[in-house]
Structure 1
Amino acid sequence: MTTVDPKIIELAEKLGKRPRAVVNHIIKYGSVSTTQLKEIYGYDHPPRAARDVREVGIPLVTKIVKNAETGKKNAEYTLGSLEELRTDILQGRKNFPAKFKKKLFTQHKHKCAICNAEYSPRVLQVDHRIPYEVAGDKLDTFALDVNAYMPLCPSDNRNKSYSCEKCKNWLDIRDSEICKTCYWASPEGFEHVSMKKEKRTELVFRENEINVYTAIEEKAQFVGESVEEYIINLLKKSE
Structure 2
Amino acid sequence: MVISEEFKKKLLSVTAKRPATIIAHILKNGSITSEEIKAIYGYNHPPRAVRDVREQGIPIETFRTKDSDGRTIAAYRLGNYEKYRDKMSKSAGRTALSKALKKALIEEYGAICFIYQESIDPSLLQVDHRIPYEIAGEQGKDTSFFMLLCPSANRAKSWSCEHCPNWESKNPAFCLGCFWAFPENYTHISGNQERRIILSFTGNEVEDYNNLIEAIGQNQAEDFIKGLIREALSKEKKDS
| Alignment TM class, shorter chain as reference | 0.5 to 0.7
Shift, 1:213, TM fit: 1.9
- In 1, the alpha carbon distance for the partners of 2:118 and 2:173 equals 27
Shift, 1:103, TM fit: 1.8
Q: Which amino acid aligns with 1:180?
A: L
Structure 2, gaps ≥5 residues long? 20-50, 63-75, 235-240
Larger Rg: 2
**Is residue 77 of structure 2 the alignment partner of residue 29 of structure 1?**
yes
The SS at the match of 1:29 is strand
Give the structure with the higher percent helix: 2
The SS at the match of 2:103 is helix
User: Residues 98-113 of structure 1 correspond to what in structure 2 (within 5 A)?
Assistant: 99-113=100-114
Query: Which is bigger in relative contact order (C-alpha 8 A, separation at least 6)?
Result: 1
Q: Which amino acid aligns with 1:128?
A: H
- CA deviations 1:151-205 (Å, max 9, x no partner) are 1111111111111111111112x22111011000010111000011111121122
Partner of 1:169: 166
Partner of 1:117: 118
Q: Is the 8 A contact 1:23 1:53 kept in 2?
A: no
**Is residue 51 of structure 2 the alignment partner of residue 54 of structure 1?**
no
- CA deviations 1:9-36 (Å, max 9, x no partner) are 879549xxxxx8x93339x533349xxx
What TM-score does the superposition give when structure 2 sets the normalisation length?
A: 0.62
Structure 1, gaps ≥5 residues long? 15-19, 34-46, 58-88
Partner of 1:93: 95
- In 2, the alpha carbon distance for the partners of 1:107 and 1:198 equals 28
Partner of 1:63: none
**Is residue 228 of structure 2 the alignment partner of residue 234 of structure 1?**
yes
RMSD: 3.4
**Count of aligned residue pairs for this structure pair:** 177
- In 1, the alpha carbon distance for the partners of 2:89 and 2:53 equals 13
What TM-score does the superposition give when structure 1 sets the normalisation length?
A: 0.62
Partner of 1:72: none
Task: Assess, with a 3 A threshold, how the Cα gap between structure 1 residues 169 and 109 changes in structure 2: closer, same or farther.
Answer: same
- In 2, the alpha carbon distance for the partners of 1:107 and 1:168 equals 32
Q: Is the 8 A contact 2:59 2:78 kept in 1?
A: no
Shift, 1:121, TM fit: 1.4
